[in-house]
Structure 1
Amino acid sequence: MSDSNVVRGTMLLTAATLFSRILGMIYMFPFTALVGTSGIALYNYAYTPYTIMLSLSTVGIPLAVSKFVSKYHALGDYRTGRRLFKSGLLLMTFTGFIAFLILFFLAEPIARFVIEEGSKGNTIADVTLVIRVVSLALLIVPIMSLTRGFFQGLQSMGPTAVSQVVEQIFRIVFILVTSVIIMRFLDGNEKTAATFATFGAFVGAVGGLMVVFWYYRKRKPSLDRNLEESTVDHDVSLSDMYKEIVTYAFPFVVVGLAIPLYLQVDTFFINPALQSIGYDESTYEAVFAIITGLAHKLIMIPVSLATALAMTIIPAITKSFTSQKEGALQKQLTQTFQMLLFLTTPAAIGLAVLSEPVFRVLYPTVDQDLGSHLLMWYAPTAILFALFSVTAAILQGINKQKFAVYSLLSGLVLKVSLTYPLVVLLEGKGAIIATDIGLITSVIVTVAIIKRYTDFQFAFVFRRILLIGIFVTCMAFAAKLATMPLESAMPDLYRSQSEGGSMLFSIVNLLIGIGVGGVLYLWLSYRSNLAGLVLGERFSFLKRR
């Protein structure tokens, strides 16, 4: 396959991933309006342990299979890749079934950990049910993921891209349609709607699996011809095959588990800590729903965009490190850090500064003061999530993946240790501060290891960070000043809980803040030549002549 096709395929897959994430954020707005924070909390009680179990059941194997198949196909050996695919389907069926059983039977113990017996809000029985419902998806998703990995190994990104989008559409349509029917036509309650919503994971998985199997059936004649014409067979035993797969897979698990594990710590500790200082069920579940669901969905958008662009440089880092091309490696690392911070920092800080109009526009049925306050604190955490994801990926690129594990564990230990006491001391924002401390620790460890094994000179990056920081500060002040006149002129309308005029006012104010702040940041970046230098040749039109 030509380089242009590979690049086109990678861009297609990146676009599909971003589109799926954006869809995954957008549907939360109507879903929240239908089920409220109580329903969102119940939904998130199920999804966080499900995400962790899914990561463990697949253990990074789909991406590892992609790397394995690509390697042997490049050598002209189609038989080894096909043998791995067939045996991998059996393995994923088995691990998915085991993961389903584990999550199904652990549902009640998990529920008892996050909800007190006799709670007036969501009950232990409610949480147990939603976890068991979502566990059904584990029977299908690992098989679908492996098949996607097989196609990616063939440098065919289309099946994975289409499958991701179809899976998300199936899931979201099912969630919204069933929620509307239950809440508007059947006079149901939030708990029933949230329970059906968790079944959306299974419905989406079925849709995604149908797509990849359709592609496989369509392309099987061509794949069989390649198999018949293959003259190379490395005759790799299944045991050696899976040893190689595990070597490839392990690093992917570390990065994939980081965010779900942080959210699971919040799931375990936020409710008990807030209960201990007198919060009632509806209030502590609102805090939990905002931190682990509503605000988290928002901050993951800049994280996804920045990491998707920065990650495209990782293969080049691996090649330069292996070839001992120090000059190229230094340039690539510098470009990665610059690109990440240039994109993530203004988005995160802008989200914090405009947290009040953002929350009112997107989640009008949620407690505005509480939601905007927590979003303001949580938004900068996006920078840390992005930094850890990329620095951990760099460690994989330079074959120091074990340190990514150590860094994750060091941060998690602090997160676990600090969440409960900080929530008791500082309420909801204490959980966010505990996350920040854990992630900062992990990032310090990863950066130190990168420095040690690549002798990377951070001085230049620090200067660029300072410049980005100055521009972002100017942007934040401009956005805040631009929105202040309307806020002070119409405080009653701005604080009003009525729909209509209050919503229109918030939209106008939000657009003003985004427009003024965004334009100023882009103008400063262009005038200083920062944008063109950071984003590289693909955006050379941003360079001043």
Structure 2
Amino acid sequence: MSKAQKNFLSGAIILTVANALVKVIGAIYKIPLANLIGTVGMNYYNDAYQIYSLLYVLSTAGVPVAIAKMVSESIVRRRLEEPKKILKISTGLFAAIGILLAALMVINVEPISRLLSNDTANYCISMIAPAIFLVAVSSTIKGYFQGYKCMTPTAVYQVIEAAFKLVGLGIVVAMGHRGVTDPMILACGGVLGVSFGSFAATLFMLIRVLMEHDLGKDTAGSLPSRSGAALAKIILSLAIPISLSSAVMSVTSTLDMFLVKWNLGEYGLAPEQVRATYGAYVGATSSLFNLPPTLTVTVGIAVLPFLTAAFASGKYNDGYKNMRSSAKLVSLIAMPCALGMSVMSEPIVKLLYSASYWEVSIPTLRVLAISIFFVSFVSLTSVFLQSVGRVKTALMTMGVGAVMKLTVNIIMVRNIGIMGAPIGTFACYTSITLLNVYFIYKYMGFRFPLTDTFFKPIVCSALCCGAAYAVWRLLMAAGLSLKIAFFPALLAALVVYACCLLFFRVLSKEDMVLIPKGEKLGAFLAKKGWIHE
């Protein structure tokens, strides 16, 4: 394994482990919050969070990628003094944009609430507005570190942000003890956690970058840096298309929120039923669906600077190796999550959420979970295209997917109710994945290894999920409770999945290097014929 490939995979693992911890903390925050504020409260929470997400994506979603790409290219091209200049310019630029958008959000809170058909959501929206400015500042610093292939600050940032969100849960619990039952007021407490988390995490990033003295200190033989105006122009030319690419899906989700609610009314639900149904869908189904992709997205974050450096210096074989490794890693995480969450949707929802969520969330999760694999690959394949400057191509494929999602949702939701929403999501991300794979071959000449990337993970995942379902059903039939029956089923899935990976020789000796004592273990397993060279 080359040093660059090993560094990439190490960075990917750091971010993946951090995201796993973030998801555990997030579950501690979001699941009790959903049960405390109920389906109607989650509707308020989601309305505010959806507007925040849209403005965040429009302002700064493309910033870390753009800054990381520029820093990495500056280092490769020996402009060694340029990265710090990029950081200063981008931080000032996007801090101003963040302040402007946060102010606009607060000033226009009442029209936004009316647009959401949720007049009392204005309090929740106001409380989440400061987070837009905070993430705008932190996004430039994250990109700076990522450009140096230093993933630890981003990982720590994510953990701090998630941990301080728990402040919001504490506020909700405290209000509950004081007898507060209004779902809107309780939702405001939950929303405050988002702003607290952003503040604490941004403060960490500012301290971290101010104390950093090692990165970029060796500037001997540096070529002249480009002018500030030229760098600002490049930053915007990279960040805006990437942000727009991300914004396509965020805008789509916002439009989807309006359309799904409206079409649920057309389907025949009363306004209060619409709020409760949609609240259950976003509070449980969507929350569970979003867990695995947040783990796999870190692979794309980690691989981008390596791909940029490899292709900028003409080392295409190194780039292709990293693409194969990252695709396999994403598939090995996403495929069992997709099939497992679909097959085990009933025990998962019943274990985590109160009975008010079950009727909507169990069947919708069963369908929506299949899209986890495609969402994960959309994120990764978009990074592949961005690494060779095909940002507009990624934007175009996102646009096609957005049109698919909105069209299918309009047709399906009014005819079959909330079950139409996950079908629209599946149509969206499947189409984007297929288009991205086509354009990657067209522009990069890269073919995904179908056996290691798709076929073997599907077989291994199907067998482990079948084992989990069988064990769960047997234990339930024996009279055990849901909680007792679920965890042996989960253990069975893990054991079967590990055995299948060895039996089908999915892993290689290079993959094993990432594990502690992995070189010796890899040599032993290769000798047994359980992994390939």
TM-score (norm 1): 0.84
In the alignment, which residue of structure 2 is the partner of 1:119? none
Q: Look up the equivalent residue of 1:89 and give its one-letter code.
A: T
3-state SS, counterpart of residue 140 of structure 1? helix
Q: Residues 372-421 of structure 1, C-alpha deviation per residue, up to 9 Å, x if partnerless?
A: 11111111111110111111111112332221111000111121222122
Counterpart-to-counterpart distance in 1, 2:241 and 2:423: 27
Matched, 1:383 2:373: yes
Question: Matches of residues 334-345 of structure 1 in structure 2 within 5 Å?
Answer: 334-345=324-335
2:229 aligned to 210, 222, 239, which one? 239
Counterpart-to-counterpart distance in 2, 1:280 and 1:6: 52
The alpha carbon displacement at 1:522 in A equals 2.3
Q: Look up the equivalent residue of 2:162 and give its one-letter code.
A: Q
Matched, 1:429 2:422: no
How many residues are paired up?
A: 518
Counterpart-to-counterpart distance in 2, 1:533 and 1:258: 40
Counterpart-to-counterpart distance in 1, 2:69 and 2:300: 19
Between 420-429 and 152-161, report the one with greater CA deviation. 152-161
Q: Residues 490-542 of structure 1, C-alpha deviation per residue, up to 9 Å, x if partnerless?
A: 5xxxxxxxxxxxxx811122113222333223222211212447946536366
Note if contact 1:57-1:96 (Cα within 8 Å) is conserved in structure 2: yes
Matched, 1:140 2:154: no
Matched, 1:212 2:238: no
Counterpart-to-counterpart distance in 1, 2:312 and 2:77: 19
Counterpart-to-counterpart distance in 1, 2:465 and 2:12: 34
Note if contact 1:269-1:420 (Cα within 8 Å) is conserved in structure 2: yes
Counterpart-to-counterpart distance in 2, 1:324 and 1:447: 22
In the alignment, which residue of structure 1 is the partner of 2:189? 196
The alpha carbon displacement at 1:260 in A equals 3.1
Counterpart-to-counterpart distance in 1, 2:97 and 2:14: 30
The alpha carbon displacement at 1:209 in A equals 2.6
Q: Residues 129-186 of structure 1, C-alpha deviation per residue, up to 9 Å, x if partnerless?
A: 22222122223221232233344445554444333322222222x2111101111224
Counterpart-to-counterpart distance in 1, 2:464 and 2:112: 44
TM-score (norm 2): 0.86
Q: Look up the equivalent residue of 1:65 and give its one-letter code.
A: I
Distance 1:260 1:23, change over 3 A: farther
Counterpart-to-counterpart distance in 1, 2:73 and 2:432: 32
In the alignment, which residue of structure 1 is the partner of 2:518? none
3-state SS, counterpart of residue 234 of structure 1? coil
2:488 aligned to 512, 517, 528, which one? 512
Q: Residues 321-351 of structure 1, C-alpha deviation per residue, up to 9 Å, x if partnerless?
A: 5566666555544444333223211111111
In the alignment, which residue of structure 2 is the partner of 1:100? 102
3-state SS, counterpart of residue 366 of structure 1? helix
Counterpart-to-counterpart distance in 1, 2:84 and 2:21: 31
The alpha carbon displacement at 1:101 in A equals 3.1
Counterpart-to-counterpart distance in 2, 1:454 and 1:325: 13
Counterpart-to-counterpart distance in 2, 1:140 and 1:268: 28
Distance 1:394 1:88, change over 3 A: closer
Counterpart-to-counterpart distance in 1, 2:402 and 2:371: 15
In the alignment, which residue of structure 1 is the partner of 2:274? 284
Distance 1:100 1:234, change over 3 A: same
Note if contact 1:43-1:195 (Cα within 8 Å) is conserved in structure 2: yes
Distance 1:414 1:150, change over 3 A: same
Distance 1:488 1:320, change over 3 A: same
Question: Matches of residues 297-446 of structure 1 in structure 2 within 5 Å?
Answer: 297-309=287-299, 312-318=302-308, 321-322=311-312, 331-446=321-436
The alpha carbon displacement at 1:235 in A equals 4.9
In the alignment, which residue of structure 1 is the partner of 2:57? 55
In the alignment, which residue of structure 2 is the partner of 1:496? none
Counterpart-to-counterpart distance in 2, 1:349 and 1:450: 26
Q: Look up the equivalent residue of 1:275 and give its one-letter code.
A: G
Note if contact 1:262-1:435 (Cα within 8 Å) is conserved in structure 2: no
Question: Matches of residues 240-259 of structure 1 in structure 2 within 5 Å?
Answer: 240-250=230-240, 252-253=242-243, 256-257=246-247, 259=249
Counterpart-to-counterpart distance in 1, 2:309 and 2:225: 27
2:463 aligned to 474, 483, 495, which one? 474
Note if contact 2:299-2:380 (Cα within 8 Å) is conserved in structure 1: no
In the alignment, which residue of structure 2 is the partner of 1:26? 28
Q: Look up the equivalent residue of 1:201 and give its one-letter code.
A: V
In the alignment, which residue of structure 2 is the partner of 1:538? 514
Counterpart-to-counterpart distance in 2, 1:473 and 1:435: 22
The alpha carbon displacement at 1:361 in A equals 1.1
Counterpart-to-counterpart distance in 2, 1:336 and 1:347: 17
Distance 1:114 1:486, change over 3 A: farther
The alpha carbon displacement at 1:47 in A equals 0.7
Moved over 6 A (4+): 2-10
In the alignment, which residue of structure 1 is the partner of 2:502? 526
The alpha carbon displacement at 1:449 in A equals 0.8
Q: Residues 437-484 of structure 1, C-alpha deviation per residue, up to 9 Å, x if partnerless?
A: 1211211211111122233345x5058633433333333333222222
The alpha carbon displacement at 1:29 in A equals 1.6
The alpha carbon displacement at 1:314 in A equals 4.6
Structure 1 gap ranges (5+): 116-123, 491-503
Distance 1:155 1:448, change over 3 A: closer
| Cα RMSD, aligned residues only | 3.3
Identity percentage over the alignment?
22
Tell me which of the two structures has the higher relative contact order, counting C-alpha pairs closer than 8 angstroms and 6 or more residues apart.
2
Counterpart-to-counterpart distance in 2, 1:330 and 1:10: 16
Counterpart-to-counterpart distance in 1, 2:240 and 2:205: 24
Counterpart-to-counterpart distance in 1, 2:265 and 2:126: 26
3-state SS, counterpart of residue 529 of structure 1? coil
2:176 aligned to 152, 172, 183, which one? 183
1:162 aligned to 156, 162, 168, which one? 156
Q: Residues 293-316 of structure 1, C-alpha deviation per residue, up to 9 Å, x if partnerless?
A: 422222233223334346544555
Q: Look up the equivalent residue of 1:474 and give its one-letter code.
A: L
Counterpart-to-counterpart distance in 2, 1:334 and 1:155: 19
Q: Look up the equivalent residue of 2:165 and give its one-letter code.
A: R
Distance 1:475 1:259, change over 3 A: farther
Matched, 1:296 2:298: no
Counterpart-to-counterpart distance in 2, 1:108 and 1:77: 48
